Structures are given as structure tokens and as C-alpha cells.
């Protein structure tokens, strides 16, 4: 059975409580987004401050070397946009 995931800019986006994983686990890197706080806007709970970590998916990588980049952003869109840029550059899909 093939599972369907939500996507953002063509990459899977999987949520587990206040942590989102962005990217394909078969690629060399994914980005973990941790929602640190939320706010209410128009009666809906939305993500506030988010911590991003680009991580290697290599199972043989040392735990201290798994995190490649870190950043913080306010708002989910801003965080996902940065995560997408990181993955594009790291996976060679955009010329720098």
C-alpha cells in the first residue's frame, strides 16, 4: 500500500505533533522543523517560532555530524521556504 503525504514544493511533509519532517528520506538530507510555540489567528492555531535543522539521513553518520545547518524563523511559511532552499542547494537542484 502506497501512502500519500502532504507535499510542499514537490517534497513530502510529515507531521508528528509539533515536529515536521520536510524532504524525502531516500535523499541524503531532510529538514526537521520544530514548532516552539503557537498563536491563535482568526480562531485557528498557527505555528509561531520554529527551529529548523537540516539533517543527514545517512544511518552510519555519527550523531554529532548529523545536523548540517540550524536556523530559527517566525511562521511556518518562512521556515518551509528556507528549508526548501536548503534542500535545493544541498541536493544540487539550484545553481548557487
Model confidence pLDDT, tens digit, residues 22-63: 999 999 999 999 999 998 989 999 999 999 999 999 999 998
The strand ranges marked E within 1-96 are 6-8, 11-16, 19-22, 29-35, 38-41, 44-47, 49-56, 67-74
Q: Find out whether 29 and 68 touch, Cβ atoms under 8 Å.
A: yes
The residue that leads in pLDDT, 1 or 53, is: 53
Domains of the chain: which residue ranges? Answer: 6-90
Full-model pTM: 0.87
Distance (Å, whole) CA 68 – CA 85: 14
Tell me, rounded to whole angstroms, the distance of Cα 38 from its chain centroid. 17
pLDDT in tens, 4-15: 889 999 999 999
Give CA torsion, residues 16, 35, 72, 53, to 10 deg: -20
Amino acid at each position: 500500500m502506497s501512502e500519500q503525504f502532504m507535499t510542499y514544493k514537490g517534497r513530502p511533509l510529515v507531521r508528528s505533533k509539533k515536529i515536521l519532517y520536510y524532504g524525502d528520506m531516500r535523499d541524503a538530507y531532510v529538514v526537521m522543523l520544530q514548532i516552539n510555540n503557537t498563536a491563535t489567528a482568526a480562531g485557528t492555531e498557527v505555528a509561531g517560532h520554529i527551529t529548523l535543522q537540516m539533517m543527514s539521513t545517512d544511518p552510519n553518520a555519527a550523531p554529532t555530524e548529523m545536523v548540517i545547518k540550524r536556523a530559527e524563523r517566525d511562521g511556518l511559511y518562512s521556515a518551509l521556504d528556507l528549508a526548501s532552499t536548503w534542500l535545493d542547494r544541498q541536493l544540487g537542484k539550484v545553481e548557487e
